[in-house]
Structures are given as structure tokens and as C-alpha cells.
Amino acid sequence: MLRDLAQGCIDIERSPYSKHRRSSFYALFKPEKVRVDASTLLEAGGRNPPPGRRTSLTEPSRTTEATSVVESYFAHMRAGDLGVVDLFHDDAVLLGLGRRTEGRNKIRAFYAESIATGGPQPRPGGALLSDGRRVAAEIYIDLAGGATLHVVDLFVVEEGRIRSLTYFVADEPPV
């Protein structure tokens, strides 16, 4: 399937998922054969690069930069270092648990309280996943009181700083 994408199209009829032809997509459109041009996929994702420009999936320098920023974020958190806030843009946004925290000063207050009261110690739940400026991290956060949270963090990194961090906390402790 990836080879087909590299050649410029995906032929869903030949894909390993063709047994699911009666899925809701097929029930709605009922095509006999669906071909999707790779440029259509990029446009649909809102990330159609100018001609001759490589996509973020093939730009290791951007991926490495974003991943390095996120690794630094977790190092600061493990150290209980409020310097973590310096990794954020002045107008950065922190989203999670139904709360929107906007601007570095408010983000500083959030982390000051979190570090002082919870003593969070994040540890990886898997490898960091990166696509250019976006990085996803599955983590476990051990808290000072003995509880452990299972969290997914989604970072957007621009110009070497965190533009936004959206976090999702599982309703149940990790198994």
C-alpha cells in the first residue's frame, strides 16, 4: 500500500483492507473501485506543499527539532524544573481536562502549581511519534501521592518552542 502511495495513488480495491468494502464509507458511496491521488490526500490534510518542496514526513531536521524540544520538556518535568515554561511560545496554549490555559504567564502558574502539589514524574509509555512539527507522546505520570496517570500529550512545535500542548488523561489508572 505504501508503494502505491509513493507511485502517486492508492488503489483501495487492492489494499489489505478491501475485505471491508461494505464499511460505512462504501455503504454511503458504493463505489466499485476507488482511486485516491496522493496530492488529494495532502490537500485534504491541509498540508499540500509547494511543488518541489518535501513534505514534513521527509524533513528529518524539523522532526528532530520538534522531538528534541519535547524530550527537553520531559527532562524539565522529571527534574521538577519550572524552566519548562521557557520552552513555550509567549502566546502558547495548553489544553486539557476541559481547561484552556493561554499565554506563558498563565502556563507558568499552571506548572508552578502542578510541580509543587503533584511532583509529576513522567515516564515513557512508548516511543515519541513525530510528523514534522507535531509530536505525540504516550506517558505515565507518577505523582507524589503514589497515583499514576496514563496520559497522551500532543505537542505542536514551531521555531524551536512549543506552540500548543493538548493532553488527554485516561479515566482509569493504567493496567
Average pLDDT per consecutive 10 residues, the chain (175 residues; last block may be shorter): 31 38 33 38 40 40 83 98 98 97 98 97 95 95 94 97 98 81
CA distance 22 to 140: 38
What pLDDT, on a 0 to 100 scale, did the predictor assign at position 27? 32
Q: What predicted TM-score, i.e. pTM, was given to this entire model?
A: 0.65
Residue 134's pLDDT is what?
97
Nearest to 61 by CA among 138, 160, 137, 154: 160
**Which one of 3.10.450.50, 3.30.1130.10, 3.20.20.140, 3.90.25.10 gives the CATH number of domain 59-169?**
3.10.450.50
- Residue for grid cell 488527554: 168
pLDDT of residue 13: 37
Residue 95: name the closest of 154, 13, 144, 142 by CA.
154
Q: CB neighbours (10 Å) of residue 137? A: 24
pLDDT recorded at residue 63: 65
Domain with CATH 3.10.450.50 in the chain: 59-169
